Amino acid sequence: MDDIELGVISQKLWDIVNDHVGPADSTELLATSGMMLKVALELYTVVLSDKEIEHLLEHVVMKALPKNREKMTEKMGERTLH
C-alpha cells in the first residue's frame, strides 16, 4: 500500500470521525477514539505477536504523540472540547 492509498484511507476515517465528534462534548471524542484504537489493535493481532504490538505501542506510538497532538490541534481548529 502506498502513501496515496494511505492518505485516502486517512481522509475517509477523518470524515467519519468529524461527523461524530462535536465541539461541546469530549465524551464523543473519547468514545470514537477508543473504538478506533480497539479496531486497530484487533487488526494488529492478525499479523503481530503480543510482544510486537507492545513494542509498537511503546516505541513508535509513544514517540509520535507530540507530533500527532500538534497535528490534531490544528485539524480540530477552533473547537473547544469539554
Alpha helices (H) in the chain, listed in sequence order: 3-20, 26-47, 50-55, 62-76
DSSP secondary structure code for residue 21 in this structure: -
Average pLDDT, the chain: 87
Domain extents for the chain?
Answer: 3-76
Total-model pTM:
0.72
Cβ atoms of residues 71 and 13 within 8 Å: no
Q: For position 30, what pLDDT does the model report?
A: 86
Q: Does the pLDDT of residue 22 top 80, yes or no? A: no
Q: When comparing pLDDT for 72 and 23, which is higher?
A: 72
Q: For position 33, what pLDDT does the model report?
A: 87
Percent of the chain predicted with pLDDT > 90: 57
